[in-house]
Amino acid sequence: MKVALIQLACTDDKARNLAHAAGMIAAAAEGGTDLVVLPEMFCCEYRNPSFIANQESAGGPAWTMLSEAAARHGVWLIGGSIPESEGGRLYNTSFVFDRSGRQAARCRKSHLFDIDVKGGQFFRESDTFTPGDEICVFDTEFGRMGLCICFDMRFPELARIMALEGAWAVFCPASFNMTTGPAHWEIMFRSRAVESQVYTLGCAPARDEAGSYVSYANSIVVHPWGNVLARAGAEECILRAEITKAEADSVREQLPLLSARRADMYTLKRRGEGAAP
């Protein structure tokens, strides 16, 4: 499976961002790419007033551009995330489109980015967004994939449940900052990969030192064994990698962590459901 992560530069102009993203998707789709990923909030600046100003419902301009791009280029497309409005609430939402442009999945960020790091970053997504309450997996011709958004990846329960439900790769549009990124970005993706024996793929915006929110960038692809297969720098780019279910299966056969869990001692459950298998 050929994947392309678009480390995109964002501005305060939504129309410009959508047009730029469409062009980058076209470039990313070249060479037989199967799945393309955009970063978190690719259509607007990462700040609460911008989320409010650029909100749209499913079927709006960003959603439509993503659907049309997936169909035009015949790729699976994880549309980063956008500020999605529904029922008077605002969500940080990632839409997934199949090769025909049909919406195949929707992931609403479950864990909102509310932090106050002494001497570093302060942010409160909950001032604007409502948290989602669904764990997102979706099926492709390559098998089942998992999807979460940025801060969600810090919670190993999500990746583990996705793995238990058949996902062999977990994608994460994200926007870590210059406080948390250098400290936690790589180790987080490597940890989730090793713990649940999945590929982990993080797609971030390019870094703009003069922007209102400075992204750490460093989009990344990690193998289920824990080694980094590909990693970007700070600049805008397309990060490419090939991932295979056979590799994930091989790691799980060599180190049977998932089957060796002691379900007689502990379990992990979805809300309102029985224990995960």
CA 172, chain centre distance (Å): 2
- Cβ contact 225:194 at 8 Å: yes
| Nearest-angstrom CA–CA distance, 12 and 54 | 10
CA 253, chain centre distance (Å): 27
Catalytic choice (10, 14, 40, 107):
40
150 counts as catalytic:
yes
Catalytic choice (148, 150, 172, 203):
150
Catalytic choice (44, 45, 84, 109):
109
44 counts as catalytic:
no
109 counts as catalytic:
yes
* Residues annotated catalytic, as ranges: 40, 109, 150
